[in-house]
Amino acid sequence: MTRELRIAGAVVVAVALTGCNAFNQFLGREDAIDYQSATPTRGSLSVPPDLTQVPANTRYQVPQGPGGTSFSQYATDQAQRRADAGTAQGSAVLPQRSDITVERDGTTRWLSVNMPANQVFERALEFWRSQGFAIRSQNGQAGLIETDWAENRANIPQDIIRRTVGRVFDQVWDSGQRELFRTRLERAPDGRIEVYFSHQHMVEEVINESQTKWVPRPSNPELDAAMLSRFMVFLGAEEERAKAEMQVAAAAGQPQGMAQSAQAVRSGSTLDIPEGFDRAWRRVGLALDRGNFTVEDRDRAAGQYYVRYVDVDAQQTEKPGFFSRMFGSRQPAQQPQYRVQLSDVGGTTRVTVLNADGQPDSSATAGRILEVLQQQLRD
């Protein structure tokens, strides 16, 4: 009996000590982000070891020349090789990459990329798949990508029980949390491509012994920044440079004189943002991404986002079985399309909601859209 209690106590201590790994989930560290899509995906074939050929290493080969070589010549050649290798290695340390830069406005960060838009779009698709996500929808014409819901496996403590049993029954262990990411590409006036990441966060709550439901939780801008940093490296930037640029952007903070402009004022069927159109357009776009809207298209010249508002309650379903998850292939019911109109009114940007025909909409749903936007802009 004493032996069993001693073993149980040791297991409890191990779980308590290793459970603290979950607190690193949003820090952008390599061991804090490990996504697995909630939608099963087909694996890719790997090349067998016997079909790969290890490149020859000529480091220790004596250079050959016509008629042989003297020791002094050999030493000179080796010194030149070391110098050339040092130059090549030095040029690869934090190289200047003006084609990929980090921009920031308040808590919003984005990448400014000097590449063709179609190339950035394809690379973004490859990036999300490499991070363990399945692609739910993509719209190249609008520059929009939405992943499926995925679980961050780094949220699960890697204790001795998890490492032993989890290899066989991996689905038994679940963090009860899911994230969905959206990528939006915008063409800046100077021709560069702006890349925005945003995510939604859902947590599974227990209703009773046989029922659970998924409820939304606030998103974390630092998680968006961490994934942007990874994408920057994926595009070709050095890892240390990506981290340094993110730290510089974080240290920059809120631009001076913009603290008052963060508050949007609701008045009936309009929402006034006390700032210029360009900044308001960027912030409203991110607010739509984070506010459970589906952005289908946009027209910056006309100041319009074409959106469908997805009812959160429609996504909250009971869990009928042990392995059944709401984040499967099932899609929410199609919702009517609305237009979120931004207009410049004497230095203030006014936001109104139009119906699918482009006429002002004063319905309860339109009011809810403005309410959600106001909340997201406040956050």
3-state secondary structure 323-351: CCCCCCCCCCCCCCEEEEEEEEECCEEEE
Q: Which of 18-27, 134-143, 151-160, 280-289 has the lowest mean pLDDT?
A: 18-27
Which pLDDT value is given to residue 119?
Answer: 95
Q: Are residues 266 and 184 in the same domain?
A: no
Q: Are residues 246 and 374 in the same domain?
A: no
Q: Are residues 214 and 137 in the same domain?
A: yes
Q: Are residues 249 and 272 in the same domain?
A: no
The residue with greater pLDDT, 44 or 87, is: 87
Q: Are residues 194 and 296 in the same domain?
A: no
Rounded-to-integer distance, Cα 31 and Cα 289, Å:
27
Q: Extract the runs of DSSP E, i.e. beta strands, from the chain.
A: 35-37, 100-105, 108-113, 135-139, 144-147, 150-152, 177-187, 193-208, 211-217, 265-267, 270-273, 293-299, 304-309, 337-345, 348-354
Q: Which of 164-178, 291-305, 332-346 has the lowest mean pLDDT?
A: 164-178
Q: Are residues 246 and 269 in the same domain?
A: no
Which pLDDT value is given to residue 36?
Answer: 72
Rounded-to-integer distance, Cα 36 and Cα 19, Å:
20
Q: Are residues 228 and 131 in the same domain?
A: yes
Q: Are residues 144 and 225 in the same domain?
A: yes
Label residue 247 by pLDDT band (50, 70, 90): confident
Q: Are residues 247 and 271 in the same domain?
A: no
Which pLDDT value is given to residue 217?
Answer: 85
Mean pLDDT of the 239-249 span: 79
| Candidate ranges 7-11, 148-152, 342-346; pick with highest mean pLDDT | 342-346
User: Looking at the predicted structure, is the pLDDT value of residue 320 above 90?
Assistant: no
Instruction: Quote the tokens at residue 318.
Output: 């009971």
Label residue 128 by pLDDT band (50, 70, 90): very high
Which pLDDT value is given to residue 99?
Answer: 87
Strands 135-139 and 108-113: unpaired
* Full strand arrangement of the beta sheet holding 337-345: 265-267, 270-273, 348-354, 337-345, 304-309, 293-299
73 belongs to a structural domain: no
Q: What is the CA radius of gyration of the chain?
A: 26
Mean pLDDT of the 66-85 span: 64
Mean pLDDT of the 201-228 span: 87
Label residue 104 by pLDDT band (50, 70, 90): confident
User: Looking at the predicted structure, is the pLDDT value of residue 53 above 70?
Assistant: no
Which pLDDT value is given to residue 318?
Answer: 42
Label residue 181 by pLDDT band (50, 70, 90): very high
Q: Can you name the residues that pair with 293 across neighbouring β-strands?
A: 309
Label residue 11 by pLDDT band (50, 70, 90): very low
Of 253, 282, 308, the last residue of a domain is 253
Of 253, 286, 312, the last residue of a domain is 253
The residue with greater pLDDT, 162 or 11, is: 162
User: Looking at the predicted structure, is the pLDDT value of residue 178 above 80?
Assistant: yes
What CATH number did the domain enclosing 221 receive? Answer: 3.30.530.50
Task: Compute the mean pLDDT over every residue in the chain, rounded to the nearest whole number.
Answer: 74
Q: Which amino acid is at 161?
A: I
Mean pLDDT of the 201-208 span: 88
Buried b (16+ CB within 10 A) or exposed e, 62-90: eeeeeeeeeeeeeeeeeeeeeeeeeeeee
Which pLDDT value is given to residue 71?
Answer: 60
Q: Are residues 129 and 190 in the same domain?
A: yes
157 belongs to a structural domain: yes
63 belongs to a structural domain: no
Report pLDDT digits (tens) over 149-175: 998 877 666 555 555 555 554 555 677
Report pLDDT digits (tens) over 250-293: 666 554 444 444 578 988 899 999 999 989 999 999 899 888 78
323 belongs to a structural domain: yes
The residue assigned the tokens 């936001």 is 351
Q: Are residues 222 and 266 in the same domain?
A: no
Q: Which of 35-44, 130-139, 255-264, 342-351 has the lowest mean pLDDT?
A: 255-264
What CATH number did the domain enclosing 268 receive? Answer: 3.30.310.170
Instruction: Quote the tokens at residue 201.
Output: 């966060």
User: Looking at the predicted structure, is the pLDDT value of residue 46 above 70?
Assistant: no
The residue with greater pLDDT, 202 or 326, is: 202
11 belongs to a structural domain: no
CB count within 10 Å of CB 164 equals: 9
The residue with greater pLDDT, 234 or 52, is: 234
| Candidate ranges 32-46, 193-207, 259-273; pick with highest mean pLDDT | 193-207
Domain of 324?
A: 260-379
Q: Are residues 151 and 274 in the same domain?
A: no
79 belongs to a structural domain: no
55 belongs to a structural domain: no
Mean pLDDT of the 11-29 span: 42
Q: For the chain, what is the domain count?
A: 2
Of 238, 253, 268, the last residue of a domain is 253
372 belongs to a structural domain: yes
